[in-house]
Amino acid sequence: LRCNDDDNQDLYETVNSWLGVPYKYGGTDRNGIDCSAFVGTVYKKVYRKTLHRTANEMLRDVELISKSQLREGDLLFFTNSKGKVSHVGIYLKDGLFAHSSTSAGVCVSRTDDTYWSKHFYKGGRVK
């Protein structure tokens, strides 16, 4: 993942260092990590902020925003088939976000991808 001078270098370097780590439900380290632990780990390192542990609880850490308001470092929340917030990622730029997905592990995906766009709930700016 490439970044420009005006991007947060620390954010991109941190995300790059995690790419390819497998997904593991409840996992919190490089042997396997789930989506909320990934977001929490990156946030602690880059922004020195501690977030709640689960995607649903992280809603308490943010002010909700629309997809059009997303900027680098904002969180993206997604729902499962039952409509419950169950997945979180970190917005990068140009419609890209970093997350730990059950199928690919830590990766970068597009917000306009059919699956993610269908399950998108809200963006969140950490308070």
pLDDT per residue as tens digits for the range 20-65: 999 999 999 999 999 999 999 999 999 999 999 999 999 999 999 9
Residues counted in the chain = 127
Q: What is the pTM of this model?
A: 0.94
The number of beta carbons lying within 10 Å of the beta carbon of residue 70 is: 20
What is the model's pLDDT at position 126? 97
b/e per residue, 4-35, with b = 16+ CB within 10 A? eeeebeebbebbeebeebebbeebeeeebbbb
Residue 1 to residue 90: CA distance in whole angstroms: 14
User: Across all residues in the chain, what is the average pLDDT?
Assistant: 95
Helix%, strand%, coil% for the chain, nearest 5: 30, 30, 40
What is the model's pLDDT at position 51? 98
- 96-105 mean pLDDT: 96
What is the model's pLDDT at position 1? 66
Residue 4 has pLDDT above 80, yes or no: no
Asked about 119 being catalytic, the answer comes back as no
Asked about 52 being catalytic, the answer comes back as no
Asked about 87 being catalytic, the answer comes back as yes
Residue 2 has pLDDT above 70, yes or no: no
From the list 3, 35, 52, 107, the catalytic residue is 35
